[in-house]
Amino acid sequence: MKPRILILHATGTNRDREAALAFELAGGAPEIVHVNQLTSGERLLVDYQVLVLPGGFSYGDDLGAGKLWAVMLQHQLGEQILAFVESGRPIIGICNGFQALVKAGLLPGLDVEAGSEMQQAT
């Protein structure tokens, strides 16, 4: 059985189809799912083996790169995402998706409180 890959779509994210193609070529069964389908319960994160947050400019990045998406993820899907991580299933954040995961404090191994700003190494 092919692993089910959830590619999370939100306003402003892009390259969802390219991510889906990459996972399909790697032997997975990708599905592009709008974030509202998860928050409404229409789709369940627990039904997937991999979670992908693609890049782009989520919600226009009006408040900063990935910031609004991070707030939404933390407050509406935080418990589900943390349970997903704790179960050992992988999460892949690409560009803006990674920024949102870090800012939401939802990645393992980071000593960051959600919403805090991390210093960048330059």
Sheet containing strand 29-34, strands side by side: 29-34, 4-9, 50-53, 91-93
Assess if residue 95 is contained within a domain. yes
pLDDT in tens, 19-59: 999 999 999 999 999 999 999 999 999 999 999 999 988 87
Q: What is the 3-state secondary structure (H, E, C) of 85-101?
A: HHCCCCEEECCHHHHHH
Q: How many domains does the chain have?
A: 1
- Which residues span the domain enclosing 10? 4-104
Q: What pLDDT shows up at residue 27?
A: 98
For residue 64 the two structure tokens come to 């900063």
Domain membership of residue 100 (yes or no) is yes
Q: Is there a domain that residue 109 lies in?
A: no
CA dist 102 and 35 (Å) reads 18
- Two tokens at 119? 């210093």
Residue 122 lies in a domain: no
At residue 112, the pLDDT reads 53
CATH code at position 89:
3.40.50.880
pLDDT at 7 over 70: yes
Higher pLDDT among residues 88 and 110, named by residue: 88
Is residue 78 pLDDT above 50, yes or no? yes
